[in-house]
Structure 1
Amino acid sequence: MRLSRIIMALTVGLAVVAVPTAAGAAQPQPAPTLTETPQPPPYPPGQGAATLTVNRTTITLGETVVLTGRNFGPNERVTIVVSVAPLAAPAPGQARRSDGSTVAMAPVAFQAAAPLTFYANTNSRGRFTEPYKPSITGLLTFTATGDESGRSASTEVRVLPRRGDQQPLPVTGDSLGTPMKLGGGLVGAGAVLLLMTLAWRRRHRLGTGAS
């Protein structure tokens, strides 16, 4: 009898202890909090990557192109850097010498200094329009970068030389060849005439003395 009471008391105590534990487990657990800050999209909604275009891709030296930038930052300054690559050189012409041989002609063109960095300002929609007048021939690459947004875009323009800018000059070391040949010929002819004159005078004197 005493043993059964002890077992019943232990059973009731264990039941009392287990009830709060089960009640706590049944309560809903709080959701874990997010500590990472969500990253914004690379471009604002409805706006794509930055672009840079020109109204003409090939011009002649002295003409003006218009650059148009889109999707840059609103109301920011855009730095535009110009890099120049030379155009493919045309085949040189040929000049004919007095002796019938030919010599290559090297084209010579004047190249003025060109501003290789300039700036533009965007409007509230991130757009700008900027004219540019190249002062050097070649393949020009324009790279525009927003100072604040860091967005960048590029485009190319081919600048051809104007007619008459290239003056072919003969590349030869025989510029004095013809005058020297003429001078040598005249000297030789003069020496022959002098010898003939001396011979004629000598013969004339000998003929006079014999008579």
Structure 2
Amino acid sequence: MRLSRIIMALTVGLAVVAVPTAAGAAQPQPTPSTTTDPTQPPPYTPQPPALVVSQPTIFLGETVVLTGTGFGPTETVDIAVTVAPLAAPAAGQAPARRSDGSTVAMAPVAFQASAPVNFTAFTNAQGRFSKNYKPSVTGLLTFTATGRESGRVASTELRVLPKRQPLPVTGDSLGTPMKLGGGLVAAGAVMLLLTLAWRRRQRFGGTAN
């Protein structure tokens, strides 16, 4: 009798221990994910460096904007300037056209020995810079920009023509102002005579009364 009780107690104990194990085994296990992690974007490839001027042809005394892109972020860019004489146009060649649509004659310009001064610019976080530039000489100017840290190089050209000369005054252009001035003088003389006549009339009229 005592042996049967011992066997029964062991059986109940084993059953109690086995219930949680069976319950845990019955729970669905998470299936491994079949999707992979998203691929990383390719590394950023910087754009090639470029250097442009706001106007390709200007007159001496005017200012252009020099813009550089594709350089290193927040770096110093050295800009070297060289000058060469403008080439005379070939026979039948059309005159140069400015950005505003007007045309300019490409007359040959004597070379000037005094070279322009080099200068520097500083890029922003996107590797871009803008610099105002006022040429001091005429000719074909070549700008070469070089980034100190990145070593990137870009260049552009600018044609600088002599200052525009005022139009000469001809006989035809003087005719109209002289005619207009003569008419004004004649009108003034007539008004003066009328004023004197009116004053004389008032004077004699006042004496008679």
Which is strand-richer, 1 or 2? Answer: 1
| TM-score relative to the length of structure 1 | 0.46
